[in-house]
Amino acid sequence: MLVVMKHGASAAEIDAVVSVIEEMGYQARPMPGAQRTAVGLVGNDGRVDSSRISALSGVAQVIHVTQPYKQVSREWRPENTVVTIAPGVDVGGKEVVIMAGPCSVETEEQIVLAAHQVKAAGAACLRGGAFKPRSSPYSFQGLGEVGLKYLATARKETGLAIVTEAMDEQGAELVAEYADCIQIGARNMQNYSLLKFVGTLGKPVLLKRGLAATINDLLLSAEYVLASGNKDVILCERGVRTFDPATRNMFDLTAIPIVQQMSHLPIVADPSHGTGIRDLVTPMARAAVAAGADGILVEVHPNPERALSDGAQSLYPDQFAELVGELRTISAAIGRTLTPAPRTATVAAG
Amino acid sequence: MLVVMKHGASAAEIDAVVSVIEEMGYQARPMPGAQRTAVGLVGNDGRVDSSRISALSGVAQVIHVTQPYKQVSREWRPENTVVTIAPGVDVGGKEVVIMAGPCSVETEEQIVLAAHQVKAAGAACLRGGAFKPRSSPYSFQGLGEVGLKYLATARKETGLAIVTEAMDEQGAELVAEYADCIQIGARNMQNYSLLKFVGTLGKPVLLKRGLAATINDLLLSAEYVLASGNKDVILCERGVRTFDPATRNMFDLTAIPIVQQMSHLPIVADPSHGTGIRDLVTPMARAAVAAGADGILVEVHPNPERALSDGAQSLYPDQFAELVGELRTISAAIGRTLTPAPRTATVAAG
Amino acid sequence: MLVVMKHGASAAEIDAVVSVIEEMGYQARPMPGAQRTAVGLVGNDGRVDSSRISALSGVAQVIHVTQPYKQVSREWRPENTVVTIAPGVDVGGKEVVIMAGPCSVETEEQIVLAAHQVKAAGAACLRGGAFKPRSSPYSFQGLGEVGLKYLATARKETGLAIVTEAMDEQGAELVAEYADCIQIGARNMQNYSLLKFVGTLGKPVLLKRGLAATINDLLLSAEYVLASGNKDVILCERGVRTFDPATRNMFDLTAIPIVQQMSHLPIVADPSHGTGIRDLVTPMARAAVAAGADGILVEVHPNPERALSDGAQSLYPDQFAELVGELRTISAAIGRTLTPAPRTATVAAG
Amino acid sequence: MLVVMKHGASAAEIDAVVSVIEEMGYQARPMPGAQRTAVGLVGNDGRVDSSRISALSGVAQVIHVTQPYKQVSREWRPENTVVTIAPGVDVGGKEVVIMAGPCSVETEEQIVLAAHQVKAAGAACLRGGAFKPRSSPYSFQGLGEVGLKYLATARKETGLAIVTEAMDEQGAELVAEYADCIQIGARNMQNYSLLKFVGTLGKPVLLKRGLAATINDLLLSAEYVLASGNKDVILCERGVRTFDPATRNMFDLTAIPIVQQMSHLPIVADPSHGTGIRDLVTPMARAAVAAGADGILVEVHPNPERALSDGAQSLYPDQFAELVGELRTISAAIGRTLTPAPRTATVAAG
């Protein structure tokens, strides 16, 4: 940590900063400059709370050198974490995992049909929301537990692993019961009570980046889950808010190689929410895999014009099948392969 | 709602849009243009879900004319809502309410001292966090229920009304028990489960704008609380995220007159979080009142250098007293007055 | 300057950084940390180009402690710069200067009428564009030199000082000939060739903040003008681009006290472009003065419905007169006064 | 164009809007709604200036349906524009063009060496700055005309086409004389005087997106060049400003397929400025090609640690060679090829 003093800070002010640093149990190293003096704090273990120092008289700025997160960092664990969602579905290894399905679970027929379609096209996981965070209280909010039961049926019929969102503690317990991976949505990325709770449920967590979250914020939110005892966290880039209304969000694919440098956790990308427009999903899914994503989360609906939510960004099943073919070639170009769709349904194995 | 067709959309595609609109129970009014055709949807009551239409072939864009929120709008209720936090503390009327106190409740002595100090300077409400949403799981997370008890003590001793944050349902129940107004923080602004829950607790809610929330989003989140049966919502501008690292957030004071046009709900401003730097709090608090804010939320700490959180943005008690004097003059310049500090403590009245 | 090494940087990499710093003529001070080593560069005079160091192997980040600008900084000149636009019109002193007028000069009658109206209401300067930067090549681009002549006529008739924009070198020479202050618009804030050129013309420059310019960028652009020999620069906050479409721009009033801390240059605010909507101009003009702006730039049109540009954000003359009254009271509340309108026209004095 | 009236707008206000539309020569079509009335303007040819209407009493909002640009739109010209920079170097066709070289031209030896290196690796164009827009007036500003001469030498020796930036009219004339393609940088994207001027020089223009430019703004700036008579414009995505300091800019690859939908102009991507960090250039260059970019602009320096600017984002020549190999495979995966490096130097052909 570096404490930059104001130009013209007095010797007494500099001494006060040194004293507080030493009182906190660290070493202080003053560095006089031509314009202003800086004081280095040596020995920071990542837990120094800078607020006390920022508040001191004569301090212009406190600059953090040490990252505030620990367990999620590459420095804590140099090798990649591989999160196993279901047998054969490993996120963070050499394989790229395709997760696909409708925005919302609408009926049993719809989700089972969608599951068969995305499996036929090459997906390894089924996505679909039973709890839907909608900006208006008057929009369709999802089927709740009934939707989770339909997802479980779809898994039984296809063998696809299930990823679905939870919005609160009660919902998270249900998702943990019926599904394979608990998704935490962008709006709840800094719902720390929920993050702590899902850290205790013993299921993989897919954590989406918030609309205004820096990559640092995303990693800090993941740290909450790890600090609660759950190492199986998959990060997800899904677009952030910027000034350009051309798309719903700005899809920040550079986050993928940055996260891979800073953290050992796997990261997937969601080009459907990342762009919000069907025609953009295919090129951006290709770009995400080329950038090194460990997986792709794509909205596919048997009948987008009849979708209860997000129809405009859902692919038609045949568009999706074509996309999977392209992703297979691009994966090969960078030395990876796609996780194969499940051979047979779980039920058939029984 | 206006459905803009792509250039070159076929007559059949336009007909399909008309059919779907009519099937949904509204009237369709096609408007051919030189470049492209648009189809107006007439009779929208604010509940039309555009996703079905967006997904249709040939549709370029769906433009919403009707606002998606209802009960929070000026059109629903033309006159201002006045939220009474405690007897004599009305937010949204002619008086400007000063809410002040430390970032966190640290000890009973600290919060009681702070309460006396801010009351002496002219505040009508005491703020202070018992549940602290911190970006790092390793930072001080607040005293929890113990902190709420200390706040209750401070109220007993000074008569100040208490505003404090809740982060989850359990915490909200406790806050409702001990305090006068439940604050929902920026990170939980779109935690819809929590919004629905606090709508049922029968206490005023102070809802802070999220870091990437548009004013529309803020109003939609407030709509969740009203839709759950609670009309007593105070909105709060506290800065949003932008590209300039000069301050922690960009304090969007224009949100104040915009909200006052669009909604009947009161809006206050928090220059402490809105700027993050002590020296900026005073000018921006003055600006907020000049812009028409119904109140100000300011961090004041008896001893900022010893604060467990946010010391760098907390005012010294004497700075705060000086600020209140300036706010009094500016309020008068625009025809308002400050809510007076409570005359005597509740306990003294007993 | 602080060079932060990657975790696991080798001793040889750290030595290489030390060598390069010493080769550049500065002292290097390594600071080993628990997670990573940092190397301080001591003696930076603000001219160190960090690119060589950033490119070295093992370097994670280079953090600048010294500001990259010099002459614009408070450290270079502690007392406020007061820019005299015309006799009696001083920006940066105790007086708050009101600059007002239509977006574009349209006809001689229009600008002369507008000049009389804003003078009667209390303005000290007339604004109005002869060269208009328009995002579409097909929009009205201004009257050019003819417009400047009309502005000169308005000055002769009213005695108001003239502020008007230049978009290129040829235009800047004309503006310098006819007007009192050369405005550089937001889109040209980083047109360095133009900044260097206007630095040589011997007229005050009003430099508007770019749409995505940090406060640091704004100060660096001003540095270009000062480095070309012109000390008379007035900065102007006029809103930046963010994610919220509620207004054309987000009006960043906190920039005012920040600039006043970092620089000795005066700063004014433009609530018309800062908000883009007439009903928001009045509260935000009040807020700007309360925040400490040295002046206000406001669009006023004799007949906004007939304006060739920006009619929707132009005040009616009577709204403007009422606003000036409020600004007078708010100025008084913070110990300032408004610059009086010129007593008589220049011509009358002749 | 759709004019949305305020809730409660009077019949007289609606009539006034209708009258003004008709007075402007268009048809008005009022659409009463449950909450508010909207008035459609029929027959807009893209030149309607909405400011008059926005300024009318009772108007809440004016929504543009027709795009404000014309010649750059797909509707104006359905087939792709292919810009020929030099014989065999066509941008916008089936081939993906690799443009590479150092940030700045530093010496004749440096640029000639760089040219040989990037040609050997597979580039078809050489980039390198002779005029450098630097945020500080004290940073290296480029060699000017001397630098252009060195670029011409490099072209003579390698046969590579030259792309280099101009910052003002005088510089643009020189660039047109020595180079093959005039680059307009991000900071000058809305320097309309310069855009009009380069439209008259008869050389292809590479127009970079500004830091806060929407895709719409970028297209409107291109429209300025086309409106001046030059159809040979190549657009360039190079990152925009957002809230995340993790990278210098946020690289908005989704802009590529969006531009390709809206416009017939080719678009290339610059992952060096788009990310600012060497280790991110390779994955993001791959992603750009996968997203459909018509070319890539990459900084490569013979000796990045000695670069006078942007060393930290410049690739080493061998990294670049490896990248070109990967881009070749990814291009093949989506049915494209790379433009081959020139067979022999121009001089050898003479």
Q: Does residue A46 surpass a pLDDT of 70?
A: no
Tell me which chain C residue has its CA closest to the CA of residue D278: C55
User: How far apart are the C-alpha atoms of A105 and A151, rounded to whole Å?
Assistant: 8
Confidence label for C54 from pLDDT (cuts 50, 70 and 90):
confident
Q: Does residue A63 surpass a pLDDT of 90?
A: no
Cα–Cα–Cα angle for D306, D311, D315, rounded to 5 degrees: 105
Return the pLDDT at C349.
40
**B11 contact partners, CB below 8 Å, separation of at least 6:** none
**d(CA C286, nearest CA chain A) in Å:** 27
User: How far apart are the C-alpha atoms of B36 and B25, rounded to whole Å?
Assistant: 25
**C284 contact partners, CB below 8 Å, separation of at least 6:** B253, B254, B257, B291, C251, C253, C271, C274, C275
CB of D63 within 8 Å of a chain A CB? The answer is no
Structure tokens at A218: 């995303």
Q: Given A34, A45, A67, which is nearest C43 (Cβ)?
A: A34
Contacts of D76 in chain C (CB under 8 A): none
Return the pLDDT at D1.
81
Q: Given D279, D284, D292, which is nearest A253 (Cβ)?
A: D284
Q: Given A52, A310, A314, which is nearest B306 (Cβ)?
A: A52
Share of chain A above pLDDT 90, in %: 72
Highest averaged pLDDT of the listed ranges A263-267, C31-35, C62-66: A263-267
Looking at B7-11, B141-145, C258-262, which range is the least confident one?
Answer: B7-11
Determine the average pLDDT of the residues in B262-282: 95
Q: Does residue A303 surpass a pLDDT of 50?
A: yes
Q: Given B243, B252, B256, which is nearest C214 (Cβ)?
A: B243
Structure-model confidence comparison of residues B134 and D256, the more confident one:
D256
Q: Does residue D348 surpass a pLDDT of 60?
A: no
Confidence label for B47 from pLDDT (cuts 50, 70 and 90):
low
Determine the average pLDDT of the residues in A110-114: 98
Determine the average pLDDT of the residues in A91-116: 97
Q: Given D4, D43, D66, which is nearest B65 (Cβ)?
A: D4
Structure tokens at A284: 């951006």
DSSP C305: G
Contacts of D242 in chain A (CB under 8 A): 240, 242, 250, 252
Return the pLDDT at C345.
61
DSSP C316: P
Contacts of D261 in chain B (CB under 8 A): none
Q: Given B253, B257, B333, which is nearest C330 (Cβ)?
A: B333
Confidence label for B45 from pLDDT (cuts 50, 70 and 90):
low
* CB pair distance less than 8 Å for B2 and D2: yes
Say if residues B245 and B208 touch (Cβ distance below 8 Å): no
User: How far apart are the C-alpha atoms of C286 and C293, rounded to whole Å?
Assistant: 10
pTM for this model (two decimals): 0.93
Say if residues C326 and C319 touch (Cβ distance below 8 Å): no
Determine the average pLDDT of the residues in C233-242: 96
CB of D52 within 8 Å of a chain B CB? The answer is no
CB of C304 within 8 Å of a chain D CB? The answer is yes
Classify strands C95-101 and C125-127 as parallel, antiparallel or unpaired: parallel
Structure tokens at B212: 């990437």
Helix (H) or strand (E) holding B286: helix B278-291
Structure tokens at B123: 């505040």
Looking at B203-217, C19-33, D155-169, which range is the least confident one?
Answer: C19-33
Nearest C-alpha neighbor of C341 from the set C93, C94, C100, C84:
C100
User: How far apart are the C-alpha atoms of B281 and B287, rounded to whole Å?
Assistant: 10
* CB pair distance less than 8 Å for A258 and D246: yes
Q: Does residue B152 surpass a pLDDT of 50?
A: yes
CB of B304 within 8 Å of a chain A CB? The answer is yes
Q: Chain-centre distance of CA B225, in angstroms?
A: 12
User: How far apart are the C-alpha atoms of C192 and B140, rounded to whole Å?
Assistant: 47
User: How far apart are the C-alpha atoms of D166 and D173, rounded to whole Å?
Assistant: 8
Phi-psi region of B318 (alpha: psi -120 to 50; beta: other; left: phi over 0): alpha
Q: Chain-centre distance of CA B132, in angstroms?
A: 17
Share of chain D above pLDDT 90, in %: 72
Say if residues B18 and B28 touch (Cβ distance below 8 Å): yes
Q: Does residue A211 surpass a pLDDT of 50?
A: yes
Contacts of D8 in chain B (CB under 8 A): 75
User: How far apart are the C-alpha atoms of A288 and A331, rounded to whole Å?
Assistant: 10
User: How far apart are the C-alpha atoms of B135 and B248, rounded to whole Å?
Assistant: 14
Domains of chain D, each with CATH number or no CATH: 2-63 (3.30.70.1140), 83-349 (3.20.20.70)
Chosen for mutation from D29, D48, D243 (greatest number of chain B CBs closer than 10 Å) is D243
Return the pLDDT at D345.
61
**Which C residues 191-220 touch A at CB under 8 Å?**
212
Q: For residue range C279-325, list pLDDT tens digits in order.
A: 999 999 999 999 999 999 999 999 988 888 888 889 999 999 999 99
Q: Does residue B349 surpass a pLDDT of 50?
A: no
Helices (H), chain A: 11-23, 51-54, 108-121, 145-158, 169-178, 192-198, 215-227, 255-262, 271-275, 278-291, 317-333, 346-349
**d(CA C216, nearest CA chain A) in Å:** 15
Share of chain A above pLDDT 70, in %: 97
* CB pair distance less than 8 Å for C167 and D312: no
Determine the average pLDDT of the residues in B251-265: 97
Mean of the per-residue pLDDT values of chain D? 92
Q: How many CB pairs under 8 A join B and C?
A: 121
Q: So what's the ipTM on this one?
A: 0.91
**Which D residues 124-163 touch C at CB under 8 Å?**
133-140
Return the pLDDT at C247.
87
Q: Does residue A47 surpass a pLDDT of 70?
A: no
Looking at A107-121, B173-187, D31-45, which range is the least confident one?
Answer: D31-45
**d(CA B90, nearest CA chain A) in Å:** 27
